[in-house]
Amino acid sequence: MSLHIGIVGFPNVGKSTLFKAITKKQVDCANYPFCTIDPNVGVVTVPDRRVDLLADLMNSKKRIYTTIEFVDIAGLVEGANKGEGLGNQFLANIREVDAILYVLRCFNDNNVLNVRPKIDPISDKEILDMEMALKDLMTIEKRIETVNKKMKSLVKKEDEKEAELLNKIKGILEQGKVLIDYDFKEEEDNLLKQYQLLTYKKRVYLLNGNEEDVSLEMKKEFEKNNWEYIIINIKEEIDAEGLSEEERKELQIKDSKLDYLIEECYKVLGLITFLTTGEDETRAWTLKNGSLAPDAGGVIHTDFKDSFIKADVINWEELYNSKTYGEARLKGLIRTEGKEYVVKDGDVIEIKSNA
C-alpha cells in the first residue's frame, strides 16, 4: 500500500523547498533506501519510536518503518478549473493523491515574488478551495445527469437517495466550500468516495513562516474550523538540514519540525500501524483503521490473508515492558485472536497460517 500526499499551493509559497527538505532529510538519515520515483515524488519513512524501542529490545538486525510518498504538485493559478495555467494537469495530479498538504505563505520576503496581492493565508486557502470545489462541481453535475436519466425510466430507492446527496453536496460546492469539512452518514460517505472528489480528501495545512508571522486570530480561525495546521519556516528547515542537534543548539535553531509534519500527515490519512518484531527485523506496517487480523496478514504476505489461522497479539508497550516474549507470555499478555479480531494501533502481531 503506497500512500501519497500531494503538496498543493500557489507558486512561490515554498512547496518545492519543502519537498526538498523532506526528501533530503531522508537521504541524510539513510537507514532506509531512499528512492525518488520521479523528480516530483519522494518516498519518506514515517518516524516511529516504537520501532526503535522494540528493535533495541530484540536486537533486531534491521528496522523498517512505514512510508508515505510526497508529491510536489505544480503551483495553482486562479482559473485552474477552466484549464488556466497547468490547470487540468494540476487538478488531475491532486485526484491521484490520498491526502493534501496545503502550503500557505505566511512569510514576508521581498526577494521572493508573491503572486498574490498580499500575505493572506486564509484568503489563499479560500481561492484554492474554490478552484477545487468548481472542479468537483463539474464532476457532480455529470453524475447528476446520469442519475436523472436512470430515474426517468425507473425510480429506484437507491437512485433517489443518491440524487438527494448529489443535490446536497452541489449546494456546498457552489459556495466554494470543501466537502471534507462536513459530516456525512456512512452510506453517503461510501458514495462520496466513489466520486473521487478533490475536496473530499483529508488535508493538513502548512503555514510557511515563523510563529510571529501567524497571528492569534489566524490560529483561532484554524482551530475553530478543525483545520489541522502546523507552522513551519520551511527555508530555515532546509538551511538547517544536516546540522547535528548540538549545532542546532549553538545556532539557536529549533528542532526540526519535519518529523512532526510527516507524522501528522500519516495520522490524517486515518491509518494505524501494527508491528512485527524479532531478531531479523522490527517492522512497522500500515493498515486502514478497522481492518481485521487476516488483513494484517495480507499486508505482510498476500498468502497470509486466505491461509490465516490465528494471530498472537500483544500491545507493543506491554511487550516492551515485559522485556521478552517469554515473560509476556507468563504474564498472560499475549492473546490469541481469530479472524474477527479488529487490529489496533500499536499491536505487535505474529500470524499463524497454513501457507
Of 74 and 253, nearer to Mg ion (C-beta) is 74
**How near is the Cβ of 334 to Mg ion at its closest, in Å?**
49
**How near is the Cβ of 16 to Mg ion at its closest, in Å?**
3
282, 319 contact by CB (below 8 A): no
Q: Is 310 in the site for ligand GDP (CB under 6 A)?
A: no
Residue 233 partner contact from ligand GDP, Mg ion, none using kind-dependent CB cut-offs of 5 to 8 Å: ligand GDP
Cell of 123: 484568503
Q: Which stretch binds Mg ion (CB under 5 A): 9-17, 83-91, 193-201, 228-236?
A: 9-17
Of 73 and 343, nearer to Mg ion (C-beta) is 73
Of 92 and 112, nearer to ligand GDP (C-beta) is 112
Residue 6 partner contact from ligand GDP, Mg ion, none using kind-dependent CB cut-offs of 5 to 8 Å: none
β-strand 347-353 against 202-208: which pairing, if any? unpaired
Answer for which of 1, 35, 112, 122 binds ligand GDP (CB under 6 A) is 112
Amino acid at 52: D
**How near is the Cβ of 240 to Mg ion at its closest, in Å?**
20
Q: Where are the alpha helices (DSSP H) in 154-292?
A: 157-174, 186-195, 216-224, 234-240, 245-250, 258-268
Answer for which of 219, 235, 257, 352 binds ligand GDP (CB under 6 A) is 235
Q: Is 14 in the site for ligand GDP (CB under 6 A)?
A: yes
Instruction: Please count the CA atoms within 13 angstroms of the CA of 71 that sit on its side-chain side.
Output: 19
Q: Is 109 in the site for ligand GDP (CB under 6 A)?
A: yes
Q: Which stretch binds ligand GDP (CB under 6 A): 4-12, 83-91, 243-251, 265-273?
A: 4-12
β-strand 202-208 against 99-105: which pairing, if any? parallel
Q: Is 261 in the site for ligand GDP (CB under 6 A)?
A: no
Q: Binders of Mg ion: how many residues, by CB under 5 A?
A: 2
176, 147 contact by CB (below 8 A): no
**Distance from C-alpha of 314 to C-alpha of 285, rounded to nearest angstrom:** 15
How many C-beta neighbours within 10 Å does residue 283 have? 21
Distances (CA, A) of 255 to 160, 207, 240: 54, 17, 9
Q: Is 16 in the site for Mg ion (CB under 5 A)?
A: yes
Amino acid at 253: I
271 three-state secondary structure: strand
Q: Is 234 in the site for ligand GDP (CB under 6 A)?
A: yes
**Distance from C-alpha of 179 to C-alpha of 196, rounded to nearest angstrom:** 12
E strand intervals along the chain: 4-8, 36-38, 41-45, 62-64, 67-72, 99-105, 202-208, 229-232, 271-277, 281-288, 308-315, 335-337, 347-353
Q: Is 23 in the site for Mg ion (CB under 5 A)?
A: no
Residue 294 partner contact from ligand GDP, Mg ion, none using kind-dependent CB cut-offs of 5 to 8 Å: none
Q: Which stretch binds ligand GDP (CB under 6 A): 13-21, 181-189, 241-249, 285-293?
A: 13-21
Residue 277 partner contact from Mg ion, ligand GDP, none using kind-dependent CB cut-offs of 5 to 8 Å: none
Which bin fits 79, alpha (ψ -120 to 50), beta or left (φ > 0)?
left
Residue given cell 483503521 in the structure block:
289
Q: Is 254 in the site for ligand GDP (CB under 6 A)?
A: no
Q: Is 11 in the site for ligand GDP (CB under 6 A)?
A: yes
Contacts with ligand GDP by CB under 6 A lie at: 9, 11-17, 75, 107, 109, 112, 208-209, 233-235
Contacts with Mg ion by CB under 5 A lie at: 15-16
